[in-house]
Amino acid sequence: MGSAQPGEVSLYDRNKELKAFDETKCGVKGVADLGAEKIPRMFVRTQDEFTQDLAYTNASRDQFQTPVIDLQNIDCRRHEIIDEIRRASMTMGFFQLVNHGIPISVTNEMIQGMRRFHEGDIEVKKQLYLKDLSEKVLYYTNNDLYVSRSANWRDTFRCRYLTPDPIDPQLLPSTCRDIIAEFGKHARNVGDTLTELLSEALGLTRDHLKGMDCAQYMNLLGQYYPACPEPELTMGTTKHSDQSFFTIVFQDQIPALQFLHQDQWVTVEPIPGTLTINIGDLIQFLSNDKFISAKHRVVANRVGPRVSVVCDYVGSLDKPTLLYPIRELISESNPPVYREATFKEYVKYCYSKGLADSRLDHFKL
């Protein structure tokens, strides 16, 4: 695989390089393990991507900070917590949670479980290297590999954890099977609580979003970002918004997650035991743009590997989940911004465009 400088005119067959990489089924870790001092050309961002980044700057650590919301004594402080979530969801689309109920021992072991999988037996990983995103358990690198302008320096383990039919534990790799089962129980509780709080923050009844299946389907992802020899030329995850109602993230201690606020990249500081929450496209859609789905990214690092665990609460691909601006939030002075669409239609459009492209604009009236 060749290397290149940013924006260099391609003199090679990109599809051939992508296919050769894809067929190894060894992911970005397989490339990193070769010990090369330069990254393959397929990972180098295009000149357009670098040019677009010139519009943004990096915020200083004391300029903007991710709101931290404490869920302790939630029954006594519910109105205060709802107000904090409302402000964060309307202005930043990102906030962090403490005292959320997941023991730090569980989050730490979940990070280690994902690391064991990614650094484990390559033959086990190859068996899960699948293209069908409807599979309950799979491993892949860049689900938009063939439509993106440049590949991201990241491997992913994914399982469809919350569905009407619970996942068979035997489908999960032995390296992380027990901790996924343990973590999943806690994550479901946090998801249910968040769904209620977001409903109330929108001025709706506590169970409104739950009644729209906003907490019934969850994808659990273990993201693995190997150390990168040329992090300035690529991205761990390129700028995007999430195809979810909301997303729960916890990360190890390598700071890399950033969200866009007032044309500046704000780094989400990795506080031990803290969950990071971001509003997804689907809540922005349902809320008629009252809550914002912030663009965010993960920068590549010379140090690593970096590991994070992501819980995407999504719609169902197996039934016609309908998306529409919630009627109670619509008025003559606040007409609907979006047309009705099914979640399946939304996902199909997203995968046709790639991670970095705008999605919600396609569904505007």
Of 66-70, 113-117, 131-135, 214-218, the poorest mean pLDDT is in 131-135
User: Please, are residues 293 and 284 in contact by the beta-carbon 8 Å criterion?
Assistant: yes
Secondary element (H or E) of residue 66: none
- pLDDT band of 190, cuts 50, 70, 90: very high
Domain that holds residue 200: 14-320
Kindly report the CA angle at 178 between 174 and 179, in degrees rounded to 5?
115
**Inside any domain, residue 347:** no
User: Please, are residues 345 and 282 in contact by the beta-carbon 8 Å criterion?
Assistant: no
Could you tell me if residue 303 is left (phi over 0), alpha (psi between -120 and 50 degrees) or otherwise beta?
Answer: beta
Q: Please, which residues have CB within 8 angstroms of residue 150's CB and are 6 or more apart in sequence?
A: 42, 43, 44, 45, 46, 49, 234, 235, 238
Percentage of the chain beyond pLDDT 90 is 73
Q: What is the per-residue pLDDT across 47-57, written as a single tens digit (0 to 9) for each?
A: 999 998 888 99
Q: What is the pLDDT of residue 354?
A: 67
**Inside any domain, residue 144:** yes
Q: Please, which residues have CB within 8 angstroms of residue 63's CB and are 6 or more apart in sequence?
A: 264, 266
Q: What is the per-residue pLDDT across 76-107, written as a single tens digit (0 to 9) for each?
A: 999 999 999 999 999 999 999 999 999 999 99
Secondary element (H or E) of residue 108: helix 104-118
**Inside any domain, residue 137:** yes
Number of domains observed in the structure of the chain: 1
Dihedral of CA atoms 67, 72, 73, 79 in degrees, nearest 10, equals: 10
Q: What is the pLDDT of residue 72?
A: 95
**Inside any domain, residue 349:** no
**Inside any domain, residue 353:** no
Q: What is the per-residue pLDDT across 217-235, written as a single tens digit (0 to 9) for each?
A: 899 999 999 999 999 999 9
Handedness of CA 165, 170, 173, 175 (dihedral sign): positive
- pLDDT band of 44, cuts 50, 70, 90: very high
Whether omega before 6 lies within 30 degrees of 0, making that bond cis, reads: no
Of 3-7, 48-52, 121-125, 157-161, the poorest mean pLDDT is in 3-7
Q: What is the per-residue pLDDT across 198-218, written as a single tens digit (0 to 9) for each?
A: 999 999 999 999 999 888 889
Q: What is the pLDDT of residue 173?
A: 95
- Mean of the per-residue pLDDT values for the chain? 91
What's the gap between Cα 88 and its chain centre? 18
Q: Is the pLDDT of residue 355 over 80?
A: no
Q: Please, which residues have CB within 8 angstroms of residue 136's CB and are 6 or more apart in sequence?
A: 159, 160, 163, 167, 168, 171
Q: Is the pLDDT of residue 356 over 70?
A: no
**CATH assignment of the domain containing 249:** 2.60.120.330
From the list 294, 335, 270, the residue with the least C-alpha distance to 91 is 294
**Inside any domain, residue 344:** no
Q: What is the pLDDT of residue 3?
A: 54
**Inside any domain, residue 90:** yes
**Inside any domain, residue 338:** no
Q: What is the pLDDT of residue 7?
A: 52
The secondary structure of 143-192, three-state, reads CCCCCCCCCCCCEEEEEEEECCCCCCHHHCCCCCHHHHHHHHHHHHHHHH
Q: What is the per-residue pLDDT across 244-255, written as a single tens digit (0 to 9) for each?
A: 999 999 999 999
Q: What is the pLDDT of residue 275?
A: 97
User: Please, are residues 290 and 93 in contact by the beta-carbon 8 Å criterion?
Assistant: no
Q: What is the pLDDT of residue 208?
A: 96
Q: Is the pLDDT of residue 8 over 90?
A: no
